[in-house]
Structure formats: C-alpha cells, structure tokens
Amino acid sequence: RRVFVTHLHPDHLGMAGTLERAGAEVVMHRPEIAAARRVWAADRDEVDATYAHFERHGMPRSVNEGMREAWVEMGRRVDKVAPRPIDDGDELDLGGRATRVAWTPGHTDYHAVLVDAREAVLFAGDHVLPRITSNVGLYPRSRDDPLGDFLASLRKVRDLPVRRVLPAHGEPFDDLPGRVDQILAHHDARLAATVDALGDAERDAYTVARTLFPVLRSAHEERFALAETLAHLRHLERAGRVVEIDGAPARWRVVRS
C-alpha cells in the first residue's frame, strides 16, 4: 500500500501520518518534504517570518494576528509523518500502475504530479483543477517568481499525451490543453487587473489585494489574497512592468514607458 502526497498543504499532507501508521508507505517529492518540515515546525519560525512579511506589505496588525493564530491552529492538525523521498523523473509503482513523477512548481515550490503514460492519465494534485484556479502565493522563503514557475509548469503539462486528468479537488476531466489555456488566460487577466489596481499611484500590496479581492471572510482568505497579489506583483516586477519601493509598508508602482 502506497500513498503519493503531491504537496505540503494540510488538506493533502494532514492525514498522511494516520495512513502511515495504518501500514501505508507515504512518498513525497524530496524537496517538498524539507519544505513541509520547515512550514509545520513547532518552533513557529515560518509563521513568524510570514507575519513580518505580511506586515511589511501593509496587512493590518489585527488581521495579521488572526492569520498567525489560524496558521498555528492548522499546524496542530498536521500528522507527524516520515515520507520516503522521491525525485523529479522517478518511476513510481502505484497499485500496479507505472507512473512518472513530474515537478510542477507554483502552487507550492516543489509540488509534483504523477503521469501514467500507459493509461494516459495525469494525477494532477492541485496543479490543474477543473473549476477553480490554484492559489499561487509569494511567501518569505518562496522561490523567486512563484507565478512564473506556475505558468511554466502549466505549459510543461499542457501537451502531455493524457486523455484523463484526476485533480485533487473537483471531478475528473478530459480536456487538459483547454483547461490549461483557460488558466493561463485567467492569470493574464489578473496581471492586467493588478496593474489597473495600482493605477498611477504608489500602493502597498494589501491595498491592491483588497481591490482585487473585496470580499474576504476569514484569516485564511486574507492570507491567500495577499500572498497571491504579491505573486502577481513579483511576476510583473520581473517583467519590468512594476517596481517595488522599500518602506513601511513597501509600496509598488507601475513603470510607464
């Protein structure tokens, strides 16, 4: 019995320890294991770094405190587990199915999917979902351009010879290229909306986030909104379309030609 965990988020990793104790072998992309240990460590270093990161980008202290409390509570629900590490390109047998591990960074830095070439099936995790788009956020220890990683990863899987996609959320679907194109178009639109939200002013990322996401119902939604806005701002910055201005809080402005 073997369980493949695509990434470190608690709705994927959270119960893996229970399955491991029941006799299943848990396997996970090697660098994602290290990231999971850091994110869910008892010393709270990761959540404190995220608190400082969000404070720098304009999140009000009362909201930020709620984010920190929600993160700590969420971490208490993640089982201890010792996955067997696997690497990008490795072959993995799952119940007699020969699958290949493919690194698809973006939703997390070291998210991975499985490709079953013989049956033309993609086990997509949270990389390609049928009805919603995966949250892609910039955190203090993220790779340089998470959204850029995500867009490249989408293009990487777009033309795989698969007929069936099994996502981690939602129903299975068949048109992988069509869905990838929809998600790429969505992020093009979000990048344009981010530029529009900045306008001709210098604004902090939290102000931009609340323009893009006017209805936020929980501390988790506040975190997702700011982190995703920062990922789009960083991608625009790397493309030379916006600049970050250091300060308390940091601000962003559009580069006008």
Over residues 3-32, the pLDDT tens digits come to: 999 999 999 999 999 999 999 999 999 999
Give the CA count within 13 Å in the CB-facing half-sphere of 246.
0
Residue-level pLDDT at 42: 77
Predicted confidence (pLDDT) per residue in 180-203, tens digit? 999 999 999 999 999 999 999 999
pLDDT given at position 77: 86
Using one digit for the tens of pLDDT, what is the confidence trace for 66-92?
Answer: 999 999 998 888 989 999 999 999 999
CA dist 192 → 154, 218, 228, 242, 254 (Å) = 19, 26, 14, 12, 11
Burial class (CB in 10 A: 0-12, 13-18, 19+), 206: buried
For the chain, percent of residues with pLDDT exceeding 90 = 93
How many CB atoms lie under 10 A from the CB of residue 2? 13
How many other β-carbons are positioned within 10 Å of the β-carbon of residue 136?
25
Predicted local distance difference test score (pLDDT) of residue 44 = 85
pLDDT band, residue 94 (cuts 50/70/90): confident
Question: Over the stretch 28-76, which tens digit does the pLDDT of each residue have?
Answer: 999 999 999 999 987 889 999 999 999 999 999 999 999 999 999 988 8
The larger pLDDT score, comparing residue 94 to residue 92, is at 92
Which residue segments constitute the domains of the chain, with CATH numbers given? Answer: 2-254 (3.60.15.10)
pLDDT band (50, 70, 90) for residue 156:
very high
State mean pLDDT over 173-180: 98
Are the C-beta atoms of residues 174 and 164 closer than 8 Å to each other? yes
